């Protein structure tokens, strides 16, 4: 049985939200309740920014997890990257340049390992580029003028993060052909159980996801506000 995928439009520890609402939600989806869940951060899309890795480590230690990072820059020839993913309960992918990230993953066969562990029940999650990557198509600002590119195809349809941050995103979402098309503003998370859309949640009051299932414009999805700790 495939595990969960959570596509995060924005927010959380990488965007200065220290409430832990998003991250506690992710941990609630783990099927195996370890005393210290093993959480792996993959920051390829941001060139393995040390600042982002440090934020991750600090935040998930405070949540009682066993965190680890998996940087491709510099590449560690002595480390088994595929086994590192297999050992994780939750894989969290950071934001940045989605096309560049996917090119690196495909070069190393890392995309195939991610599919393998997801199909075995591992929870996959990510923000921005780390949310885009799971879908057939995604909307990105990492190409000239912004546009639509092909993702890994774990989930059907199209995804757009940061829906409320740039005016060009909503018109593009309204025209994409790969449906269903989902949009998530900052603070909003879309949870998929396997390939089935399960729910939308938000860490910021008043934010909601949208979905387009036919030629009509995107419509709001019921979006549950996550409780404070």
Domain of 140 in residue numbering reads as 4-225
Query: Is 82 marked active-site?
Result: no
Catalytic residue among 128, 142, 191, 203: 128
Supply angle C-alpha 21, 142, 42, rounded to 5. 45
C-alpha torsion sign, points 83, 89, 94, 98: positive
pLDDT tens per residue, the chain (229 residues)?
Answer: 689 999 999 999 998 888 999 999 999 999 877 889 999 999 999 999 999 999 999 999 999 999 999 999 989 999 999 999 999 999 999 999 999 999 999 999 999 999 999 999 999 999 999 999 999 999 999 988 889 999 999 999 999 999 998 899 999 999 999 999 999 999 999 999 999 999 999 999 999 999 999 878 899 999 999 998 7
CATH code, 140: 3.40.50.880
Beta-carbon neighbour count of residue 174 at 10 Å?
15
Residue with tokens 């940045």: 96
pTM: 0.96
Q: How many domains in the chain?
A: 1
Alpha-carbon gap, residue 88 to 34, rounded angstroms: 11
Catalytic residue among 2, 142, 162, 203: 162
Edge-to-edge order in the sheet of strand 155-160: 147-150, 135-140, 155-160, 181-183, 210-212, 219-220
């Amino acid at each position: 049985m495939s595990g969960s995928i959570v596509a995060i439009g924005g927010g959380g520890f990488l965007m200065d939200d220290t409430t832990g609402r998003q991250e506690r939600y992710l941990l609630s989806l783990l099927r195996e309740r370890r005393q210290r869940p093993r959480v792996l951060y993959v920051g390829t899309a941001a060139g393995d920014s040390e600042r982002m890795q440090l934020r991750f480590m600090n935040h998930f230690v405070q949540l009682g997890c066993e965190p680890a990072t998996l940087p491709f820059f510099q590449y560690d020839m002595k480390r088994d990257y595929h086994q590192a993913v297999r050992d994780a309960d939750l894989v969290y992918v950071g934001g940045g340049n989605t096309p560049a990230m996917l090119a690196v993953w495909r070069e190393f066969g890392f995309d195939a390992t991610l599919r393998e562990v997801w199909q075995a029940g591992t929870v996959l999650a990510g923000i921005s580029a780390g949310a885009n990557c799971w879908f057939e198509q995604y909307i990105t600002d990492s190409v000239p003028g912004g546009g639509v590119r092909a993702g890994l195809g774990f989930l059907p349809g199209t995804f757009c993060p940061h829906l409320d941050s740039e005016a060009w995103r909503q018109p593009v979402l309204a025209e994409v052909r790969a449906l269903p098309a989902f949009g998530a503003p900052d603070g909003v998370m879309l949870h998929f159980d396997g390939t089935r859309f399960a729910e939308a949640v938000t860490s910021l009051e008043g934010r909601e996801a949208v979905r387009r299932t036919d030629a009509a414009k995107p419509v709001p999805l019921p979006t549950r506000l996550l409780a404070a700790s």
